[in-house]
Structure 1
Amino acid sequence: MHRLHTDRVRLGYGERIIIDDLSLEIPDKKITTIIGSNGCGKSTLLKALTRIISHQSGAIMLDGKSILKENTRLLARKMAILPQTNEIPVGLTVGELVSYGRFPYQKGFGRLNQSDLDAIDRALEKTGTAEFKYESVDSLSGGQRQRVWIAMALAQETEIIFLDEPTTYLDMAHQLEVLELLQQLNKEEGRTIVMVLHDLNQAARFADYIIALKNGKIVRSGSSEEVISHEVLKEVFQIDAVVEKDPRTNKPICITYNLIKGE
C-alpha cells in the first residue's frame, strides 16, 4: 500500500481547470520525479499534494486519511516542501532559518528545547552547512543556500520531502551536489523524495519513478527506462529525441533532439 495517493483529483484556479480526474500513487521511500512542459500542471500537483492549494474534487490520501482532514501541525510532521522560490528575511542567519523547520513541534512561546537544537545541528551536519550556522543566508552562494533550505526541511524531521525545481538557477556542479544530497537522504534514511525537474537527464539519473504529465494528464509513469523514451518524449514535449544508455549509470540519456513542427 502506498502512503500517498490521489483518486480522480481535479485541480485548478477558479474556473480554470489545470488537472482533471488524476489518479496516481507515490512510491514509499523512493525518489519520484514529475516531468512535463511548462504549464502542464507539475507545480499545481505538488502544491495540492502538500495542501498549499485545495483540490476541487476527488481525494488526496496520506496514511489512509484525506489530507484536508489532517491537523496542520501533524501534517507538517509528515511532509515538508521547498517551493520554487524562497524569500529570506534580510540578515537571517543559517541557524535561524533551519530552526523554522522545528515549528510543527513547538508549543507555548515557541522556544527551542534541546531536542530542537539537536535536530537543527543534525540537519546542518547532514547537508554540510554547519560551518555557516552563524552566517547570514544572503551571504551564501546559490548552491549553499539550497543546501540550507534542504537542512530546514530535514530539521522538520518528515518522512516525505517535496521540492519544486530544486536545481533552478544553479550551475551544473551545484545541481549535481543538490541531487546527490537528496539521493543520499533517500538511500541512507529512507526519505521519500518527490520533486519537479526540467532536466530530463537528471530525472532519468536520479529518479526511481517518473511521472510524465501533459495538459494535466499522465502520459506515462514508471521507471526511467519506461518513461525516458523517444515515443514518450515526442508525445510530452513534441521533440524528436535520440535516447541512448548512459555509459556511467546505465540509465537513459537524451543525447540530442529536434523540435517537431507542424504536428
Structure 2
Amino acid sequence: MIRLYTDRLQISYGNRLIVKDMKIEIPDKKITTIIGSNGCGKSTLLKAITRIIPHQSGRIILDGESILKQDTKELAKKMAILPQSPESPAGLTVGELVSYGRYPYQKGFGRLTKKDLEVINWALEVTKTADFKHQPVNALSGGQRQRVWIAMALAQETDIIFLDEPTTYLDMAHQLEVLELLQQLNKEQGRTIVMVLHDINQAARFADYIIALKDGQIIKAGTSDEVIDCNVLKEVFQIDAVIGRDPRTDKPICITYNLIKGEEKSEISLTGDH
C-alpha cells in the first residue's frame, strides 16, 4: 500500500535545481532509508515532503490529496519530522519538550487534556526517557536527547515519522540504540519510518526499502540487496566497494572500499613523476 508519493517533483534553492523530476513511493508501515553523498538532495527532499520548504513543480500526494491542500494541523497529525541536530530553548524540561508534540490536537488556550498527558507519558515510557521528565533537555547526553526528540515526534501520534540523520554525533552504542528503537516502533506499532542515514551498513541492516540519490535524482530504489551493490555504490559515492554478508542479519554489508577518484589521481601523480 502506498499512502505517500511524489510525482515529477522539482525543488530549487534560488536558481539552483536540487531535486529533479523525482518520482518516489514510500511503502506504508515500512522503514525507508535515503542514502547519498553530501549535497545530493536528501535533506531537501524530506523538508519538501513535510512542507517545511516549498517545491517548485510536481506533486506530493498523501492519502490521495496534495499536501498543499491539506490543513496544517491535520497534516501534523499524519506526519512528524525530526530535523537534523535539533535544538531546544535553554532550560526547557524533557516533559515540556515532549508536550510540544501535542500541538496539533490543542484547541482554545492550548491546555493539555487528560488524553494529552497520557500520550506524553506513553511516549516517555516507550523511549525510556520517563526518568528524565523533569530534567532540562540540554543537561542530557546526546543519545538521551535524541530519544527525547523521538518521544516528541511520537507524542504527535502520527503514522509517518521522518528523521534527518538521527544518528549524527552519537557514538556507536547510542546509534544502535536509536535505530533499534525506530525498528521497534515500526514492527510493534506499524509506524512508517523514513530517515536519512550516512552509514550504508546501518541502512542495509534496518531498512526495508532504500532510495539512493545522486545530484537530486534517484539512481536506485529497492531492497538492501538491490541497492547495496558495487555498481550502485560506485555511481552514488564514487567508491570501489567490497560487499559481503552480515553474519548476524544476512543483509549485505560493505566490508571495505577505495575512493575511485583518489586512485585515479594517484595514478596520474605517479605517471607525472617518471
Structure 2 counterpart of 1:170, which letter? L
Q: What stretches of structure 1 of length at least 5 have no aligned partner?
A: none
Secondary structure at the counterpart of residue 22 of structure 2: strand
What is the aligned partner in structure 2 of residue 112 from structure 1?
Answer: 112
2:94 aligned with 1:68:
no
Give the distance between the partners of 2:129 and 2:88, measured in 1 at CA. 17
* Structure index of larger Rg: 2
Give the distance between the partners of 1:107 and 1:36, measured in 2 at CA. 41
TM-score, normalised via structure 2 length: 0.95
What is the aligned partner in structure 1 of residue 33 from structure 2?
Answer: 33
Give the distance between the partners of 2:225 and 2:96, measured in 1 at CA. 42
What is the aligned partner in structure 2 of residue 179 from structure 1?
Answer: 179
Equivalences for 1:150-165 in 2 at 5 Å? 150-165=150-165
Secondary structure at the counterpart of residue 3 of structure 1: strand
Q: Once the 2 structures are TM-superposed, how far is the Cα of residue 85 of structure 1 from its aligned partner? A: 2.1
Give the distance between the partners of 1:87 and 1:146, measured in 2 at CA. 10
What is the aligned partner in structure 1 of residue 192 from structure 2?
Answer: 192
Q: Once the 2 structures are TM-superposed, how far is the Cα of residue 15 of structure 1 from its aligned partner? A: 1.3
Aligned-pair identity in percent equals 76
Q: CA RMSD in A?
A: 0.8
Q: Once the 2 structures are TM-superposed, how far is the Cα of residue 87 of structure 1 from its aligned partner? A: 1.6
What is the aligned partner in structure 2 of residue 98 from structure 1?
Answer: 98
Secondary structure at the counterpart of residue 39 of structure 1: coil
What is the aligned partner in structure 1 of residue 270 from structure 2?
Answer: none
Higher deviation after alignment, 93-102 or 82-91: 82-91
1:184-208, Cα deviation, whole Å (9 max, x unpaired): 0000000000000000000000000
Give the distance between the partners of 1:59 and 1:242, measured in 2 at CA. 38
2:130 aligned with 1:130:
yes
What is the aligned partner in structure 1 of residue 54 from structure 2?
Answer: 54
Contact 2:85 2:168 in 1 (8 A): no
Secondary structure at the counterpart of residue 24 of structure 2: strand
Give the distance between the partners of 2:197 and 2:40, measured in 1 at CA. 13
1:154-176, Cα deviation, whole Å (9 max, x unpaired): 00000000000000000000000
TM-score, normalised via structure 1 length: 0.99
Stretches (4+) displaced over 2 A: none
Give the distance between the partners of 1:9 and 1:221, measured in 2 at CA. 16
Give the distance between the partners of 2:179 and 2:243, measured in 1 at CA. 22
Give the distance between the partners of 1:22 and 1:139, measured in 2 at CA. 41
